[in-house]
Structure 1
Amino acid sequence: MFQVPAVDIAPYVEDGGPAERAAVAAAIDAACREVGFIQVHGHGIAADVVAGLGAAMDAFFGLDLDDKRAYVRPAQENRGYTPPKSESLSLSLGIESATRMNDFFEAFNIGRAASEHAGSELPLEHFAENTWPEVPGFEAQVSAYFAEAGRVARTMTRIFADALGLPAGFFPALTSPSIDVLRMNNYALPDGTDVALDGDLVGMSEHTDFGIVTILWADRVRGLQVLGSDDRWHDVDPEDGALLINLGDLTARLTNERWMSTLHRVKPPVVGGTIQRRRSAAYFHDGNPEAVVAPLDTCVDADHPRLYDPVTVDEHIRAKLAGSRAGRRNSAAAREGARVLQSLR
């Protein structure tokens, strides 16, 4: 039976002892090998911070569509508002979704800005300045959650280093400064939208995440599906108070697929002939754009040949975003795309 493992990471958040941390690292290693998704408890994000994020999302996504469109930014900047049916995540894998239509979710993105790193010349495509909507409390509430999700992401990389037997400084060197983006998603269609509520309707099409690790908060509403090792799609319902953690492509490359960048999608729950609203917020911790990612020597041997050539974080992220946001097929994702096609047979 498919199950997303649950791990309490409190020993890393609250300065647990060596034995406690070793047990957590071993549990994370097993989950990353077998599933690539983890339910994390003991993360330390206060309930009121999560509630503030939800309130900010409700306030913004509750605006009229025309008002939200005022916050659309150029696709390459990966900031601001994304209207429904303007992206197709499956193109980031070099394939088209079986539905042949764009994903119906809407989103709002913020991220690390170049102005936060005075004296550094950072590519504006990855470190664009943020747009903040004129919604009372939005910036403060979202910024508070962004800081906490970033802390959890860095905690996870500390655990990853221990689980992989890497020195403590390995991930800080790979991620400083890091491309970090918070994408707030709303799965609901505006009133009057013309769409058939059939079994092929996709909120967010099949994809893998791009970077190192994703910290996902989501409503406890059906919709998220993960592709298992049996090539079948399985529903994932987050446990109360848990965050969902999943690995990105760069970690799969780094570990030579010892760890999995798991394919996932969102299929909308349809109740009483209408789409049930679902919210999520994904914090993507993607790494320093100049860093080069290649399989670790410890993950390559005669039985596990090197699967990937070296790539910079910048090159990889640009290719993925060109697929999802600019509509160009990503030709460098053959391994991930093949898994999607296998699942659709």
Structure 2
Amino acid sequence: MPTSPEPFDVPVVDITPFVAGGADEDRARVAREIDDACGRIGFVQILGHGIPDAVQAGLAGAIDEFFGSPAEFKNSYRVAGANRGYSPPKSEALSLSLGIESAGANDFFEAFNVGAEARSFPGLDLSEADYGINVWPELPGFEPAVRGYFEHAGRVARTLTRIFAAALDLPPDFFARLTDHSIDVLRMNNYALPEHTTVTGEPTGMGEHTDFGIVTVLWADRVAGLQVLGADGRWHDVSPEPGALLVNLGDLTARLTNDRWLSTLHRVRPPIVDGTVRRRRSAAFFHDGNVDAVIATLPDHIGADGSAYEPIVVRDHIAAKLAGSRQGRSNPHAEREAARVRAAQG
């Protein structure tokens, strides 16, 4: 008889012992649970993150207000050549960040990005070309609401890297040294658009991709659409539990651990009912690391045969990925991830 497929679930971990202080044994348990999730799936849901409901509601309101604005207003905040501002529908192709042509003709979503600026780190003589200058829509309350969430999401990301250090038996400040002037970006996404709600076929909400940096913290509606590639080579639907944030690893953490921890492929397939895309919102906080940090496989994760990732500078890695997704230039340096996509495509 054929065997049943392995059940797929994204573990839920309460990180309160690292957020509010806890006993050593409780922190050790959390580290073990995170280690298990990162090694099996590369995705985890976290509770006890400490982001107030009011802050999350403020973010949702800001997303609604901006994406509900007229197209002419939104397009006035496009920023050429930078990972900032507005991206209209079908202006990006995330799968090209892996060197893969997605089945769709670019991705069926719109987005707005803000992030850390070089001037956020006075005294380091950093270049704004590596970070980007934020543009803020002239909407009442938008900037303070988004800044408020950005600060909390950054705190959560830094808490997670402390847990990562404990789980990998690294010095407590290991990731802090890689992220003290991190390229952090908050990307707000909208998937159902008044001018594009009626569709034919299966649109690509967001093409298959891995995230670029160290860790991603995702706030999302509890609406179907997000899919994660499992070890069985199948795409599985994922929706956050009530009150939970979704967390996934990026390429740089996979490089550090030589894929012991997974930078898991994921995509968005917006649900379609009677030819209409159901609305879905999300906001991804990308904690990508210092622009000048060199990421190399940790010595105790190098394979017995000497196999390891080639060292790479964060700036170069992110530039190659963005050139794919936002400029249409296929990334030739994502061989492992592209192979997994092709295997899943059959």
2:53 aligned residue (20, 38, 47): 47
Give 1:196's aligned residue. Answer: 199
Query: Counterparts in 2 of 1:144-223, with a 5 A limit?
Result: 144-191=148-195, 193=196, 196-198=199-201, 200-223=202-225
Q: 1:141 aligns with which of 140, 145, 158?
A: 145
1:96 equivalent to 2:97? Answer no
Shift of 1:194: 8.6
Q: Contact conserved, 2:43 with 2:264, CA < 8 A, in 1?
A: yes
Q: Shift in Å at residue 102 of structure 1?
A: 0.5
Structure 2: stretches of 5+ with no match in the other structure: 1-6
Which SS does the other structure have where 2:216 is aligned? strand
Q: Could you tell me how far apart the structure 2 residues matched to 1:186 and 1:102 are?
A: 15
Where 2:73 maps in the other structure, the secondary structure is helix
Please show how residues 166-315 of structure 1 align to structure 2 within 5 Å.
166-191=170-195, 193=196, 196-198=199-201, 200-302=202-304, 305-315=306-316
CA contact (8 A) 1:104 1:189 kept: no
Judge conservation of contact 1:78–1:126 (CA < 8 Å) in 2.
Answer: no
RMSD: 1.1
- Give 1:128's aligned residue: 132
More deviation in 267-276 or 37-46? 267-276
Q: Indicate if the aligned counterparts of 1:197 and 1:270 stay in contact, CA closer than 8 A.
A: no
Question: Which residue matches 2:335?
Answer: 334
Show the 5 A alignment for 1:315-334. 315-334=316-335
The answer to whether the 8 Å contact 1:213/1:248 transfers is: yes
- Equivalent positions of 1:82-93 (< 5 A) are 82-93=87-98
CA shift, 1:262, in A, is: 0.2
How far is the alpha carbon of 1:116 from its aligned partner? Answer: 1.6
The amino acid across from 1:197 in the alignment is T
Whether the 8 Å contact between 2:294 and 2:314 is mirrored in structure 1 is yes
How far, CA to CA, are the matches of 1:131 and 1:301 in structure 2?
45
Report the 3-state secondary structure (helix = DSSP H, G, I; strand = E; otherwise coil) of the residue aligned with 1:25: helix
Deviation at 1:127, TM superposition (A): 2.0
CA-to-partner distance for each residue in 1:225-245, whole Å, 9 max, x for gaps?
000000000000110000000
User: What is the rounded CA distance, in whole Å, between the counterparts of 1:279 and 1:74 in structure 2?
Assistant: 24
Equivalent position SS for 2:182 = coil
**C-alpha distance after superposition, 1:110-136 (max 9, x if no partner):** 000122222222232332221000011
Matched residue type, 1:60: F
- Cα distance in 2 between the residues matched to 1:338 and 1:262: 13
Alpha-carbon distance in structure 2 between the residues aligned to 1:234 and 1:301: 30
Partners of 1:306 and 1:41 lie apart in 2 by: 36
TM-score after normalising by structure 1: 0.97
Contact 2:16/2:48 (<8 A) preserved: yes
CA contact (8 A) 1:115 1:129 kept: no
Counterpart residue identity of residue 321, structure 1? L
Distance in 2 separating the partners of 1:333 and 1:175 = 23
- Asked if the contact 1:185/1:279 (under 8 Å) is kept, the reply is yes
Matched, 1:113 2:125: no
Q: Using the aligned pairs only, state the percent identity.
A: 61
3-state DSSP class of the match of 2:290?
Answer: coil
The residue type paired with residue 40 of structure 1 is: I
Q: String of CA shifts for 1:72-124, please: whole Å, max 9, x gaps.
A: 0013x10000000000000000111022x000100000000122222222232
SS at match of 1:87: coil
Q: Which residue of 1 aligns with 2:3?
A: none
Matched, 1:66 2:43: no
Aligned AA (1:115): R
* 1:78 partnered with 2:83: yes
Runs of 4+ in 1 over 4 A off after TM superposition: none
Question: Which residue identity is paired with 1:143?
Answer: R
Q: Match for 1:334: what amino acid?
A: E
Deviation at 1:2, TM superposition (A): 0.5
- Aligned pair partner of 1:15 in 21, 38, 60: 21
Query: Amino acid of the residue matched to residue 36 of structure 2?
Result: A
Q: Secondary structure at the match of 1:217?
A: strand
Output the amino acid matched with 1:90: S
Superposition TM-score, scaled by structure 2 size: 0.96
Q: CA deviation at 1:195?
A: 6.4
